[in-house]
Amino acid sequence: MDGKGSASGSVSAPRTLNFNTIFKNRLTLNKFLETKNPFDNDKITPIYQRIFRSLIGAISELESRGITRGYLEPHQIMVGGGPYFESMKAWLLNRPEEDNPTAPTYREQFDSLVRMILGERDFSNLELNHFLHITASAASGRQSLFSCRQLQWHPLLLSSTELRQLVYRLFIHLNRKGTSSWKEDFRQMIQRDVEVRDTVLGVDYFSDVYNLKGPQYFEENALGAFLYSAIAISDLNDHVQKAFNQYMTMEQIFDRLISFFPHLLIDVYDFLVKKGLPIDNVI
C-alpha cells in the first residue's frame, strides 16, 4: 500500500459544498419569486416549504426575545444555502435587535407574505385552506397564545415521508408516553364524524385491517380514522404479502388513506397543537 488507497473497495467521497455555488445561488426572495413557481401539481414545492418553515422559525425566535413587530419584505429576505435542496433556507437580512412599536406584527406580515406568494388558487386544498386560516387568525390576534413555532410542522409544509411519520409516530408516542386518557382527549378536542367502516370495508386488504379490531375500536369519528390509519400503515402489508407475496409502497398506502380520510392530517395537527405536544419531538 502506498498510503493513498486503492480504487477497489474505496469509499466515495462525501458531498462537499462549493462556496462559489452557495453564493451564486443566493437570491433575495423577490428575485427568487421571479424564477421559481411555488406550486407543482397543486402542491407547494419542497423549496417553498423550506422557505416558509425557515421564516416561521425566524419569527418564533424573534418572538421568544419579545420582538413581535417588524417588517417581512421580500427584498429584505435572502434565499439560499447551497446547491443541495436539503440546505436551502430563508433568512432575514435586517434582523432586528428590538421591537418596532410602530410596525405591524410579524404574524400580520407573514400572513400577507404567504398570500402574496401563493396568490388566489382555483383548486380546493384542505391543508392550504387550514394553513391560511391559522395565519389569518394569528395575524388578527385571535390566536394570541398560539405557538408560532408549531406552524413549522403544519401538514402543508411537510414532505410525504414526514406526513406518514406524523400519523404513525404520534400513535406510537401516545401509546408509550401519553396518559391513559389521550383517546378521550382526542375525541373531545377533535369532534368530527367520520364514516370509517363504510369507507374501508369492501376495499381489498384495508378491510382486513378493519376486521382485526372492528367497530368497538375504530369509532365513527376523527379518532377512529386516526387509529385506523396508524394501524394500516403498520399492518396492511402483512395482508398484501400473504395474498400476493409482494408489498404496497408506503406512499401508495398513505395516499389511499388520505383519499379515505381527507381531514386526517389537519385533525392530527390540531390535536397536537391543542394538546400542547411539541411536534418535532414526535416526528
The three-state DSSP-derived secondary structure of 152-214 is HHCHHHCCHHHHHHHHHHHHHHHHHHCCCCHHHHHHHHCCCECCCHHHHCCCCCHHHHHHHHC
Digit-coded pLDDT (tens) for 132-142: 999 999 999 87
pLDDT value of position 35 = 87
Give me the percent of the chain exceeding a pLDDT of 70: 84
pLDDT value of position 42 = 82
Residue 119 CB-density burial (10 A; 0-12 exposed, 13-18 middle, 19+ buried): exposed
Please compute the mean of the pLDDT values over residues 21-50 and round it to a whole number.
84
| Cell reading at 79 | 434565499
Ramachandran quadrant class, 214 (left: phi over 0; alpha: psi -120 to 50; beta: rest): left
Give me the percent of the chain exceeding a pLDDT of 90: 67
Domain CATH code at residue 86: 1.10.510
pLDDT value of position 9 = 44
Digit-coded pLDDT (tens) for 36-45: 889 988 889 9
Last residue of a domain, one of 157, 179, 206: 157
**Are the C-beta atoms of residues 283 and 153 closer than 8 Å to each other?**
yes
Same domain, 142 and 249: no
Last residue of a domain, one of 157, 187, 211: 157
Same domain, 176 and 133: no
Digit-coded pLDDT (tens) for 209-239: 999 999 999 999 999 999 999 999 998 878 7
Digit-coded pLDDT (tens) for 164-174: 999 999 999 99
**Are the C-beta atoms of residues 91 and 78 closer than 8 Å to each other?**
yes
Question: Highest mean pLDDT: which of 17-31, 39-53, 131-145?
Answer: 39-53
93 falls within a domain: yes
Q: Which whole-number Å values give the CA distances from 7 to 12, 15, 205, 227, in the listed order? A: 10, 18, 49, 51
Asked if pLDDT for residue 194 goes beyond 60, the answer is: yes
Last residue of a domain, one of 139, 157, 175: 157
Q: Which of 261, 184, 200, 259 is nearest to 226 (CA)?
A: 261
Give the CB-side neighbour count of residue 191, counting CA atoms within 13 A. Answer: 2
pLDDT value of position 82 = 65
Same domain, 167 and 250: yes
| Cell reading at 205 | 386488504
pLDDT value of position 241 = 64
pTM value is 0.85
How far does the chain reach from its first CA to its final CA, in angstroms? 46
pLDDT value of position 242 = 64
Same domain, 203 and 166: yes
Same domain, 232 and 180: yes
- What is the pLDDT of the chain when averaged over all its residues? 87
In total, the chain counts a number of residues equal to 283
Total of domains in the chain? 2
Range of the domain at 221: 161-282
Please compute the mean of the pLDDT values over residues 91-120 and round it to a whole number.
93
pLDDT value of position 1 = 46
**Are the C-beta atoms of residues 158 and 268 closer than 8 Å to each other?**
no
Locate cell 408560532: which residue?
A: 148
**Are the C-beta atoms of residues 7 and 15 closer than 8 Å to each other?**
no
